[in-house]
Amino acid sequence: MLNIHDLRRDFTLKTLDKKELPDNPFEAFEQWFKEAIEAHVYEPSAMNLATVDASGRPSSRVVLLKELKDGGFVFFSNYDSRKGKQLASNRYCALNFVWHELERQVRIEGFAEKLSPEDSDKYFEVRPPKSKLGAWTSPQSEVIPDRIYLEKLYADFEEQFAGKSVPRPENWGGYLVHPELIEFWQGRSSRLHDRIQFRLENGIWTKERLAP
C-alpha cells in the first residue's frame, strides 16, 4: 500500500518579500519566468487552465504559454474544444504555473478573449509542419472511434496539403488572458509560505501579502 501521507517536503529554497517584486505584476511575472528558465525548470511554460461550463462546473487542463502580450497571457488551442466552448459561454478563467524546482507557484485569474485572426496566423505560420497538420487533424475533445481514425485523418490532410503551405484552420487560434489577480507563492518552512498578491481595481494594481 502506498503511504501517501508520509510524502512531505519542507520548503527552504527561497524567501519572498513584498519589496522584492516590482510594483507592476507583469514585470514581476517576467522576472520569475526568466528565473524558471534559468533554473532549467521542466516545461516552464506549462500552465493549468481552469474554465467553467454554462452551469458553473469547473474543469482544467494544461496548456502552454506562448507569449506575454498587452499585459496578458497567450495560449493556443482549438476553438471548438471543450475549453473553447466553455470560454465562449463564460470568458472568466484561471491559470496556474507550478515551478517545483524553485518551490514556486503563480496563480492568475481573469478573462480570455480570442486573438485577432491575423495574430493567430502569425503564430501558426511559425509552427512546425507536423504540428500544423495536427491542428487540422484533431477534432479536439470529440469522442473518436480509435487511434487509426486519427492517423487516417492525418494521412488524408498530409496528402491534401502535399507541396502546399498549410493554412491555419479557422477553428484553431489564440486566446489572450487578461489578468485581474496575480499571486506569487514561494514555499517556506513549516508551511509559513510567502504569498504576494496583485489585485486590479479601477485600473490600479494593489500589492498585498496573504496568509499562507
Ligand X SMILES: Cc1cc2nc3c(=O)[nH]c(=O)nc-3n(C[C@H](O)[C@H](O)[C@H](O)COP(=O)(O)O)c2cc1C
CB nearer ligand X, residue 20 or residue 80: 80
CB nearer ligand X, residue 64 or residue 68: 64
Least Å from the CB of residue 109 to ligand X? 18
CB nearer ligand X, residue 3 or residue 55: 55
Least Å from the CB of residue 76 to ligand X? 6
CB nearer ligand X, residue 35 or residue 134: 134
Helix (H) or strand (E) holding 161: none
9 is catalytic: no
Least Å from the CB of residue 127 to ligand X? 11
Q: Interface with ligand X by CB under 6 A: which residues?
A: 43, 46, 59, 61-64, 75-78, 81-83, 140-141
Q: What is the biggest distance separating any 2 CA atoms in the chain, rounded to whole angstroms?
A: 60
Name the grid cell of 102.
Answer: 524553485
Least Å from the CB of residue 47 to ligand X? 9
CA dihedral for 23, 25, 26, 31, sign (positive or negative): positive
SS3 of residue 95 by DSSP? strand
* Torsion on CA atoms 22, 25, 30, 35, rounded to nearest 10: 60
Strands 92-99 and 46-52: antiparallel
Report the phi/psi class of residue 70: left, alpha or beta, with left for phi > 0 and alpha for psi in -120 to 50: left
From the candidates 91, 191, 195, 199, give the one annotated as an active-site residue.
191
Residues designated catalytic: 191
